[in-house]
A and B are shown apart, each in its own frame.
Chain A
Amino acid sequence: MRGLQLSLSKGQKLRLERALEKLESLSSKSNSDASVKVADDIAVNNEDAILKGHGTIELDGRLVATLCGVVERVNKLVYVRSLRARYKPEIGDIIIGRVIEVAPKRWRLEINFSQDAVLMLSSMNLPDGIQRRRTAVDELNMRSIFEENDVICAEVRGFQHDGCLHLQARSQKYGKLKRGQLLTIPPYLVKKRKQHFHHLDQYGIDLILGCNGFVWVGEHVEVRDEMVEDLPNKSEQENEEVEETYTPLDTRENICRAANAVRVMSTLGFMITVEVVTEIVSLSRSLNLDTHEMLGAEFYVLVAEKEAERRSLLKRRK
């Protein structure tokens, strides 16, 4: 299995196989023949007015897939939803990226897209929170905001006419992410939802599921209101202090647990949602497993079995 390089014992192997088979049987009813591979014909029932979507081309009057994935139909639109592929940005997606270059008036971010994304200095709020024209001084101080290799959370603003992907970070929830782990998983495992920022209260951590497959697990940060921002001088002092403070051990452990949960899930190829992550973290806790043991063979098997159980339950409920 992809990325799974564990030595499973015979029993474990059997159990894993059984769990995976169960998963397969659960899903096979829903979309068994929707899976296509490159150069497969897509049946369109002679509907004249279909719209060719992503992952399709027309060849001798037939619709042919250019990707491996699942055929989706939305009204007249027929497209192939690819599975393993790089991120395809859509406006409004919340993404996480890493700064790779500080350029004049902009940062370049690696976001698992076919190009680097651009975050203009003008499309983010300044630390002082004041809406104004960016001056040359601001430009010189760009590194004080984000440096190379910083991890940033932002939102897709859209494509410019030159084809560049632009981002924006006009809210306090966006910005630099600190004290946590960045995980990269295939983007198809992240489902687009209303909420991508999750605060796991009981563990005191934040989980941000970037649409581009970058997942942030970090210490919880209170998002301060803009109102509060109005009093800059006072809070700055506090801020400094907070930053000096030490992240407590169990928060750090929780971060690792959550990160490992994401790792296990993505290795097994399961969709990652906040519910599943919390479930797995609590599973590991209930089993009294050490953080590192979560990456052991046994836990993989357990997760797979649990997932199979969960999905069958879900199905039954329907």
Chain B
Amino acid sequence: MEYVNPEGLRLDGRRPMEMRQLRAEIGVISKADGSAVFEMGNTKVIAAVYGPREVQNRSQQLNDQALVRCEYSMANFSTGDRMRKPKGDRRSTEISLVIRQTMEACILTHLMPRSQIDIFVQVLQADGGTRSACINAATLALADAGIPMRDLVTSCSSGFLNGTPLLDLNYLEDSAGGADVTVGILPKLDKVTLLQMDAKLQMDTFENVMQLAIEGCKAVASYIREILLENTKQLESRRGI
């Protein structure tokens, strides 16, 4: 299968180094403390943050930091075939864990001892890169909830097909069987908080692919910052004196 044609275009018309269209919206769930929708092309993810609030299960309470919990799910209508997905299957448990660990790394949990932060992310439409979209949505939702963070975590995936590193794989490219590298970074601190790959890659190819993903993360970060700043300004101006 040809994923990059000789003219240098991918199946959806992007070039190898191009991302899909990003769109983000903050505050989509009025009941939640923080919420956001994040879209990367046709991948659409909604995230809601509740907390910091009283720990529900007292035995899990931590006396020096906040407890972060995350639940990932996929809407039944998110994929082409409407399948009833069992809750808590291996994949979503794994992604929940990944998102939780990634977000935990940036939340200043020690400022909110004896409390719990719940992050719920749901994939509304899946078209590859759901992991990244979930992390980006969660970051936005956390920022919206006013939870102190070291830095914004942003994530982006990249892959390697037809001997070319490709940024931000869509479902078609993702299911091609090539490597799929998901990277999460703290753009300000320039640190990697998440790195996943489900295939083998040569070391120096891998470095190229990862570098590309990092570039993608940075692009996502600048977009997210723009959205957040706009949102903050709007809130402040609306509020009045």
Contacts and interface: CB of A to CB of B under 8 A. Distances in A.
A84 B51 contact: no
A268 B30 CA distance: 12
B237 A68 contact: no
Interface stretch (A22-30, A142-150, A242-250): A22-30
Interface centre among B54, B112, B151, B239 (most CB of A within 10 A): B239
B239 A115 contact: no
Interface string B220-241: 0000010011011111111111
A248 to B, nearest CB: 32
Interface in A1-50: 2-3, 20, 23-24, 26-28, 30-32, 35-40
A51 to B, nearest CB: 17
Contact of A269 (B33, B63, B187, B235): B235
Nearest to A269: B238
B8 interface: no
Interface range on chain A: under 10, 10 to 19, 20 to 34, or 35 or more? 35 or more
Interface secondary structure of A, over-half rule: loop
B65 to A, nearest CB: 12
Contacts of B28: 2
Contacts of B99: none
Contacts of A61: none
A77 interface: no
Contacts of B225: 37, 39-40
Contact of A23 (B52, B54, B146, B237): B237
B145 A271 contact: no
Nearest to B27: A2
Interface range on chain B: under 10, 10 to 19, 20 to 34, or 35 or more? 35 or more
A84 B233 contact: no
B240 A271 contact: yes
Nearest to A66: B148
A38 B240 contact: no
B239 A67 contact: no
B125 interface: no
Nearest to B25: A2
B149 A115 contact: no
Interface of B: 26-28, 30, 33-34, 51-54, 63, 66, 108, 112-115, 143-152, 187-189, 225, 228-229, 231-241
Interface of A: 2-3, 20, 23-24, 26-28, 30-32, 35-40, 55, 57, 59, 64, 66-70, 82-86, 110, 114-116, 163, 188-189, 268-271, 307, 311
